[in-house]
Each structure stands twice: as structure tokens, then as C-alpha cells.
Amino acid sequence: MFITRFAPSPTGPLHLGHAFSAMSAHDRACREGGTFLLRIDDLDQSRCRPHWEAQIFDDLGWLGLDWPRPVMRQSTRLLRYRDALKMFWNQGLLYQCSCSRADIRAAASAPQEGAPLHGPDGVIYPGTCRPATPPTGAMPEEAVLRLDMSRACETLSTPLIYKEKSETIMPRNLPQTVGDVVLARRDMGAAYHLAVVLDDADQRVTHVIRGEDLADATQIHVLLQRLLGLPTPAYHHHRLIRDEGGRRLAKRDDARAIATYRAEGASPRDVRAMVGL
């Protein structure tokens, strides 16, 4: 069985990098006689817009991709995410954090700390709000909740392990190299790392194909799978499409939006050639 997915957030136009990612996953699913899924990562409702979602469907259809419908949407799955958070809370693996980004930067770069260390989510959380013993009582609503990474790692009876392309990877020292990641954001109920893990599992995704900008986040996902008793898919992080200056494309790069190339008369074949497929 081979199931893969493309999971864009409808927060702007899809660009050549998205086209490459979606076509790589779709091509691979076709070769393997498997299934390609489209998922709409619309957890951050403050940034998602219906017209961007409509354009995702339109652009991917124009590129010749096909997927089963209806598609999964994160905004309909908040209860699922909440249930997983409650389980972690009851296991004493979460705590509430009231630090702002500025607080974190300041604490992490305090003179006695040396240069701030960076993990997959940016500056590694210095642990300001981490309690000495797990919090008791009901899980707070509309709060930032962090995973106590040391405690979480202590619950594992065997080392983490996963496959990246044909390599076997064993992440180590997560409390030092990743830190206490955010699993619930105040405004969104859940955070990306938790949602993506539950979505991939519920969609029975066997192969995650995505950009190498997410390679470092994979260890967090594999840890969460273990804590939740979910299977770990195989991972393949592909090269990123860059502009002439070597910068990776972003949603603001309208000039490289698929819709722009379409409007200028390019064909799906031209787009394939532009990204080296």
C-alpha cells in the first residue's frame, strides 16, 4: 500500500516550489500504483482565505493532478487535536506557557546562556514556564501548551527511529536540540506538529514527501507518533526550488505563482520543465 499527500495552507498563491512538491508526490503515487491525497492545512484561520483554497484546487487540477474528494480540512478536526492534547495533559507531558516571542529571545540570549541555540522551530525554548512537577487540574483552554520534552523522552522504552529516503535516522538529545515545542497555540487550539501527525495517521499516509525545509521537524513528528501509539510513515524530503539569488520561494513570490505562469500562457509541461521534472 502506498499513500502520500500534499498539504498546502491556503494563505497565498501556490508557487513553483508547491508545484514541484505536489507533482513529485503525485508522480510517485502513480508509479507505485498508490494514492495521492490533497489535504487543506487551514488550522491558522486568521491567515487562510477561501479564494486561496479555490485556487489550490484550480492550479493542481490544471497541472493534471487528481485526488479523491472530499478532501480533509484541518479546521474540521479541532476536537481530534484537543483529545490528543488532553491525553498528553493527563500524562503530565504538557504545561502552559505565557512567554511572548520577545521574552523567549531575551531569556535565550541572556549573558549567562551564551548564543541562543536554534532548533526546528527557531530559538530553543529556555524553559521559563516549565514547572518542576507536572501541572494538575483541568487542561487550560485557549492557552499555549508546550511539550515537556525531557519528560516525553523519558517515557520512551526504545530509541526513536525512522527512514529518510533509504537512510535510517535515530534522533538523539531532543531536549537539547529541539526543546519544549508548542503543541497548542492560543488562537488555533492545536499547533502544526500535532495536527500534521494526527492527520497523516488518520489518512493512513505511508509516505510523506515534502520539502527539505521540514526535514528537521520530522524528529518531532516521529516522537509524537510514538507518544500517541501511531505508525511512523517513511519520509522523503526533496530539494527546494530557489530563485536566481538562491533564496527559497515564498508565498509572496507572486512572479513565480503557478497562476502567473498560467496567465502568461505557459503549459503544465512548461511548469514541469521549470522545476526539473
What is the contact surface with ligand GLU in residues (CB under 6 A)?
7-9, 41, 196, 210, 214
Distance of alpha carbon 275 from alpha carbon 23, whole angstroms: 10
CA distance 256 to 17: 9
Q: Which is nearer to ligand GLU, 44 or 103 (by Cβ)?
A: 44
- State in angstroms the smallest separation of the CB of 75 from ligand GLU: 13
CB of 208 to ligand GLU, least distance (A): 7
Q: Which is nearer to ligand GLU, 117 or 215 (CB)?
A: 215
CA-closest candidate to residue 150, choices 177, 175, 184: 175
Which residue's Cβ lies closest to ligand GLU? Answer: 41
CB nearer to ligand GLU: pick between 7 and 149:
7
To ligand GLU, the closest distance from the beta carbon of 83 in angstroms equals 21
**CB of 205 vs ligand GLU, minimal distance in Å:** 10
Beta carbon nearer to ligand GLU, 7 or 124: 7
Smallest separation (angstroms) from ligand GLU to the CB of 114 = 31
Q: In sequence order, what are the beta bridge partners of 96? A: 145
Which secondary structure element, helix H or strand E, spans residue 119, and what is its range?
A: strand 118-119
Nearer to ligand GLU, 3 or 108 (CB): 3
Query: DSSP for 166-228?
Result: TEEE----HHHHT-S-EEE-TTTSS-HHHHHHHHHHHTT--EEEEEGGGGGGHHHHHHHHHHH
* Residue placing its CB nearer to ligand GLU in the complex, 140 or 211: 211
What CA–CA distance (Å, rounded) separates 60 from 261?
Answer: 13
How much helix, strand and coil, in percent to the nearest 5, is found in the chain? 40, 15, 45
Cis peptide before 70 (omega within 30 of 0): yes
Nearest approach, Cβ of residue 169 and ligand GLU (Å):
17
Q: What's the CA gap between 103 and 228, in Å, rounded?
A: 31
All cell numbers assigned to 209: 514527501
Least CB distance to ligand GLU at residue 92 (A)? 28
* Closer residue to ligand GLU (CB): 116 or 211: 211
